[in-house]
Amino acid sequence: MVGLKRTARRVSKYFMRDNLILTAGAGLGFCSSLAVTNKLENSLTMGIGVTLVTAGSFCVVYPFKRLISTAGTHHKISLLMIIISVFVAIFGFFAQAFVPTITANIKAYIDLITTNCIVLAVISEGLTIDFWEAQKKILKACLGYSIALILLAFLREPLGFGAIMGFPVLPATFPKVVLMVTPVGGFFALAAFRLLLRPFLLKTGIVYPEVSSCECASASNCEIPLVRSRPKRGISRASLVALGLGICLFLSLAVNIKTIPSLHQQFIILLPVLLNALFFDGIVLSKLLGLCPLINKSRQIDAAWKMGIAVIIVTTLSTALNWIVYQYILVRCSNFLSRYSPIPLRLENIFYLTVFIVTIAVFVQILSVLLRKFAKNIYEQMGQFLELITVNCIVLASATFTIPTGAKFLVTTVTAFGYGLHWMMVVVWLALLRRQRLFVPTTAWDEDTIAILLLGMMAAIFTGIGMIHIF
């Protein structure tokens, strides 16, 4: 019995001490862990997919580790994402063949394994160590990720559906908590697990208590740091005038656009699309994407709005460019090949993910070069954020959610703009709330958990707004 307890504690330490979802404060992999854990079958499929894709991609990348390590940060990320996208496409085909129903439910999130922060992080770390040691770290991270998804599903699915994988576990008279299978329930379930598991893991010795930055500072320096008051930053008069003129201009266009029938028709179509992407079907609070950079960049207001502007620019322009590439290259090449090939090959169904990744990477690189040459001041302010946008899953999601469905160019572009604007709005709001110190954290882990709770409250508010039928 003692040996069994020792073995259980050892295994728990291996998979829970550095678990990137439940215990660590890194904020990695939150998007898929919230999106697919409303059912256990979805969690199992996603966990298997992440494990196989990470291990397979690393085996291909490792022989070229010197070449990849010498490349710049942006080139390294782009190369890794291209290779990962190939394995994601392969896993997607096998998943469609063996579990078509589950794949249909989470197909969009299987594609977004390409931008999963955990996959990119463990592969990048594995390139700096021995091959077999790296495989152990990959197994530890991916299995820990899978365990986190399974635990979340065991909480959400019974409360939301009253059953697990079709088997009833709660009596029929037990009230169904529909909230638990919605995005709101995902936020609260993850925050509850992190808040409740932490004391237990600390007490059992599975997780060690972290030393706060204040304690480290006091250990190295006995002097008491001086508390400096922050200068109050008010809104300048020029900003207020510019904001007022912008509102007046928008209202005048909305009122006078009826005089031009063609523009009025486009306005009637595109305005609900923009409002839907901005409020009712937001990329963060409804689709649970873009959480990793959002939590990390919401610690400072200055970094939040700069990252938000960069996300809007890259998301809108890269999605528009991907639409052109998809319609005028992939679709036309498929039509040309179908005339002469006895096998009906549709390139837009096979290579769309890799093509989208290449287009986004090339676009971000070209934009960085242009800003560095013609707008150096702007590049110095947001150049570091541009490199991080390549791994922001909302840039890829805005293309994969709209373009393959056959949406028109303007609808796709306006939707992408609404997604980017929604991400900027949420990250700035979260930064403002975290600045108010509603909760005094003892560790970075606690601070991230409170941020998840705040996002859950925002999602609840926006879910209520979404129930209002305006159009």
Please give the single-letter amino acid code of residue 267.
F
Task: Provide CB contacts within 8 A for 191, sequence distance 6+.
Answer: 449, 450, 452, 453, 456
Please check whether residue 186 lies inside any domain of the structure: yes
What is the Cα–Cα distance from 65 to 61, expressed in whole angstroms? 6
What is the Cα–Cα distance from 246 to 238, expressed in whole angstroms? 12
Q: Are residues 180 and 78 in the same domain?
A: yes
Please check whether residue 235 lies inside any domain of the structure: no
Which pLDDT belongs to residue 14?
A: 62
Full domain range(s) for residue 147 = 9-209
Q: Are 424 and 312 in contact (CB under 8 A)?
A: yes
Write phi, then psi, for 168 (nearest 5 degrees).
Answer: -65, 135
What is the Cα–Cα distance from 434 to 440, expressed in whole angstroms? 10
Which pLDDT belongs to residue 46?
A: 92
Q: Are residues 337 and 427 in the same domain?
A: yes
Tell whether the torsion through CA atoms of 407, 411, 417 and 418 is positive or negative.
negative
Please check whether residue 170 lies inside any domain of the structure: yes
What is the Cα–Cα distance from 175 to 307, expressed in whole angstroms? 42
Matching residue, tokens 């040996």: 3
Nearest to 28 by CA among 115, 113, 118, 143: 118
Q: Are residues 195 and 270 in the same domain?
A: no
**b/e sequence 6-25, b meaning 16+ C-beta within 10 Å:** eeeeeebbbbbbebbbbbbb
What is the Cα–Cα distance from 336 to 63, expressed in whole angstroms? 37
Write phi, then psi, for 164 (nearest 5 degrees).
Answer: -125, 115
Category of 246 on φ-ψ map: left (φ > 0), alpha (ψ -120 to 50) or beta: alpha
What is the Cα–Cα distance from 146 to 33, expressed in whole angstroms? 9
Please check whether residue 166 lies inside any domain of the structure: yes
Tell whether the torsion through CA atoms of 196, 199, 201 and 204 is positive or negative.
negative
Question: What stretch of H or E contains 163?
Answer: strand 163-164
Q: Are residues 166 and 27 in the same domain?
A: yes
What is the Cα–Cα distance from 54 to 428, expressed in whole angstroms? 33
Query: Token digits for 200?
Result: 């237990």
What is the Cα–Cα distance from 21 to 192, expressed in whole angstroms? 12
Matching residue, tokens 């005339």: 339
Which pLDDT belongs to residue 324?
A: 92
DSSP 37: T
Q: Are 285 and 459 in contact (CB under 8 A)?
A: yes
Q: Are residues 260 and 205 in the same domain?
A: no
What is the Cα–Cα distance from 400 to 92, expressed in whole angstroms? 14
Q: Are residues 151 and 260 in the same domain?
A: no
Please check whether residue 442 lies inside any domain of the structure: no
DSSP 167: E
Query: Token digits for 66?
Result: 């010197």
- How many other CB atoms are found less than 10 A from the CB of residue 107? 16
Per-residue pLDDT of the chain (471 residues; tens, 9 = 90+): 556 666 666 666 666 666 777 776 556 778 888 888 888 999 999 999 999 999 999 999 888 888 777 776 667 777 888 889 889 989 998 999 998 998 888 888 888 888 888 888 888 888 888 888 888 888 888 888 888 889 889 888 888 888 888 888 888 888 888 888 887 888 888 888 877 776 676 666 666 555 443 333 333 344 434 434 444 444 456 656 666 777 776 666 666 666 666 666 777 778 888 888 888 888 888 888 888 888 878 888 887 888 888 888 889 999 999 999 999 988 888 888 888 777 777 878 888 888 888 888 888 888 877 877 777 776 676 655 666 677 778 888 888 888 988 888 989 999 999 999 999 899 888 888 877 765 555 554 567 778 888 888 888 887 765 555 444
Task: Provide CB contacts within 8 A for 390, sequence distance 6+.
Answer: 74, 77, 78, 81, 360, 361, 364
Query: Token digits for 269?
Result: 């179509």
pLDDT digits (tens, 9 = 90+) for 365-374: 888 778 777 7
Q: Are residues 268 and 188 in the same domain?
A: no
Could you say which of 209, 238, 272 is where a domain stops? 209
Q: Are 392 and 402 in contact (CB under 8 A)?
A: no
Give the distance from CA 299 to its chain's centroid.
17
Task: Provide CB contacts within 8 A for 98, sequence distance 6+.
Answer: none
Could you say which of 174, 190, 209 is where a domain stops? 209
Which pLDDT belongs to residue 51?
A: 92
Could you say which of 147, 179, 209 is where a domain stops? 209
Q: Please tell me the total count of domains within the chain.
A: 2
Please check whether residue 72 lies inside any domain of the structure: yes
Query: Token digits for 128?
Result: 């700096």
Which pLDDT belongs to residue 321?
A: 92
Radius of gyration of the chain (CA): 24
Please check whether residue 358 lies inside any domain of the structure: yes
- The structure's pTM equals 0.80
Q: Are residues 40 and 184 in the same domain?
A: yes
Q: Are residues 183 and 289 in the same domain?
A: no
Q: Are residues 76 and 185 in the same domain?
A: yes
Q: Are residues 424 and 334 in the same domain?
A: yes
- Quick check: helix, strand or coil at residue 452? helix
Q: Are residues 329 and 425 in the same domain?
A: yes
Which pLDDT belongs to residue 413?
A: 92
Query: Token digits for 410?
Result: 């303007």
Which pLDDT belongs to residue 252?
A: 67
Please check whether residue 222 lies inside any domain of the structure: no
